[in-house]
Amino acid sequence: MRILVLGSGAREHAIILALRGESADHEIFAAPGNAGIAQDATVVALDPNDPAAVTTYANDEHIDLVVIGPEAPLVAGVADELRERGIPVFGPGRAAAQLEGSKSFAKRVMDAAGVPTGRSVRAHTRDELAAALDGFGAPYVVKADGLAAGKGVIVTDDRDAALAHADAYLGASPVLVEEFLEGPEVSLFFLCDGDHVLPLSPAQDYKRLRDGDEGPNTGGMGAYSPLPWLLERFGGEDAFVDLVTTTIAEPVIHQLDAEGTPFIGLLYAGLVLTDDGVKVIEFNARFGDPETQVVLPRLVDPLSDLLLAAASGHLEDFSRPAFAKATAVTVVLASEGYPSAPVTGRVLTGLDAAAAVDGVHLAHAATGRTDEGLVATGGRVLNVVALGTTFAESTSRAYSALAKIGLEGGQYRTDIAARVIDT
């Protein structure tokens, strides 16, 4: 197939690597891509958020499938215009993408579908915000109602910090104050064709910047998959996935379909396993980053077939995707100053040596090529991804490879997958 992947991060690189790994015959294009992606796909100078430009390119270049990676093109309506021209696209239209684009929209849909989630209050003013904070009490959970690149959430015991976080968004849009849900978090992806869903394998990511879940929230500093500890509480991964599919994913997809806004693409369910059961923290309308980097390398079935079936409305023809028993760990290398003020333009070294470690590959997030070589162009620079037969093996491989990479001021967590190191 001729496949166009929209986006420029490690998530998109992971998608491209999965597509490239299944068939050398695919012609893969990326817009705008990055320096690492350029090694595995043809990079196109195209604005991924411009519906007309993307549709014209896909039509002129006879693209068989468009895969939308980040959230911004979805909310901009890129998928809508592609579908109007009859071009298969994996990604929801603007209306259904509000499941991620608006937290209050997502809460309304969950309520209508009977999906378990935390209580919330939508605050428009400082006074409403303060009242909601006092009503729920600490720990305080405040979320930007719209898109915030994974950084719109604060969870804190400091009321002043919660107020200050909300102040950054209140002028432009409301914020949501939610009850704090306590328990381990799980990310679970679902392929959707508007009527049917197929689950992938769950993963756990690490949002905080520093070891021990300290420091500010980030877009994600690492992840691992599968989750062996699901066995104790749910009897195994399959039982857990079945539960979430029937009580969360299917009701939401059916509710959106009933409202005339069918969801076609990737439903990301951010879940918390509370004492009262599994509840939804948030939905995203695209593959999660960095969880994609550990889920897709374990996927046995051809990704392109699944994505095209979802885009074409034929997921009922497919069984639940199969996954290898391998363990997968990814660790994010970030620039100095990330997430508030990342320092960019610094040279990266040792990438070939890192990629040469057994079971390791690199997914580039923010890299560019200059006369000096590869440089960091953003906060999260790249992902070291390692596969193994045990988590001890995959984790050791990931950190061995990371030690070979040079980036002045670079930072990363040293405790990714520590919880499962003995499995």
Tens digit of each residue's pLDDT (9 = 90 or more) over 154-180: 889 999 999 998 988 887 788 889 899
247-270 pLDDT, tens digit per residue, is 999 999 999 999 999 999 999 999
Span 382-401, average pLDDT: 98
Question: Residue 86 contacts by C-beta under 8 Å, 6 or more apart in sequence?
Answer: none
How confident is the model at residue 314, as a pLDDT?
A: 96
- Listed in sequence order, the DSSP H helices in 259-371 are 292-295, 303-312, 351-355
Q: Is the dihedral of CA 91, 94, 99, 103 positive or negative?
A: positive
Peptide bond into 184 cis (omega under 30): no
- For the entire predicted model, the pTM comes to 0.94
Give rounded-to-5 percent helix, strand, coil for the chain.
Answer: 35, 30, 35
Span 302-329, average pLDDT: 97
Whole-angstrom Cα distance, residue 301 to residue 406?
Answer: 35
Count Cα neighbours of 139 within 13 Å in the Cβ-side half-sphere.
8
Of 218, 110, 126, nearest to 168 by C-alpha is 126
CA max distance for the chain: 59
Q: Which amino acid is at 269?
A: A
Q: How many residues does the chain have?
A: 423
Name the token pair of 340.
């508030």
Least confident of 135-149, 225-239, 281-295, 373-387: 135-149
How confident is the model at residue 151, as a pLDDT?
A: 61
Whether residue 149 is predicted with pLDDT greater than 70 in this model: the reply is no
171-211 pLDDT, tens digit per residue, is 778 888 989 999 999 999 999 999 999 999 999 999 999 99
Whether residue 325 is predicted with pLDDT greater than 90 in this model: the reply is yes
Go through 316-341 and write b for each residue having 16 or more CB atoms within 10 A of its CB, e for each that does not: eebebbebeebbbbbbbbbbbebbee
**Contact present, 176 and 186 (Cβ < 8 Å):** no
> Mapped to the 3 state alphabet, what secondary structure does 57-79 carry?
HHHHCCCCEEEECCHHHHHCCHH
Of 331, 305, 355, nearest to 410 by C-alpha is 331
How confident is the model at residue 233, as a pLDDT?
A: 94
Whether residue 148 is predicted with pLDDT greater than 70 in this model: the reply is no
Span 53-76, average pLDDT: 97
Helix (H) or strand (E) holding 52: helix 51-60
How confident is the model at residue 61, as a pLDDT?
A: 98
Of 75, 81, 88, 6, nearest to 41 by C-alpha is 6
Whole-angstrom Cα distance, residue 127 to residue 114?
Answer: 30
Name the token pair of 68.
């939308």
**Contact present, 138 and 157 (Cβ < 8 Å):** yes
- Of the chain, the end-to-end C-alpha distance in Å amounts to 38
How confident is the model at residue 150, as a pLDDT?
A: 56
Helix (H) or strand (E) holding 109: helix 103-113
- DSSP tag of 416: T
Q: Is the dihedral of CA 220, 7, 334, 390 positive or negative?
A: positive
**Contact present, 81 and 52 (Cβ < 8 Å):** yes
Residue 99, SS3? helix
Question: Residue 176 contacts by C-beta under 8 Å, 6 or more apart in sequence?
Answer: 103, 104, 107, 120, 121, 122, 123, 142, 143, 145
Name the token pair of 324.
């290898």
Whole-angstrom Cα distance, residue 258 to residue 109?
Answer: 11
How confident is the model at residue 42, as a pLDDT?
A: 98
Strand partners for 204? 224
Residue 198, SS3? strand
Name the CA radius of gyration of the chain, rounded: 20
Span 54-69, average pLDDT: 98
Whole-angstrom Cα distance, residue 338 to residue 8?
Answer: 18
Residue 216, SS3? strand
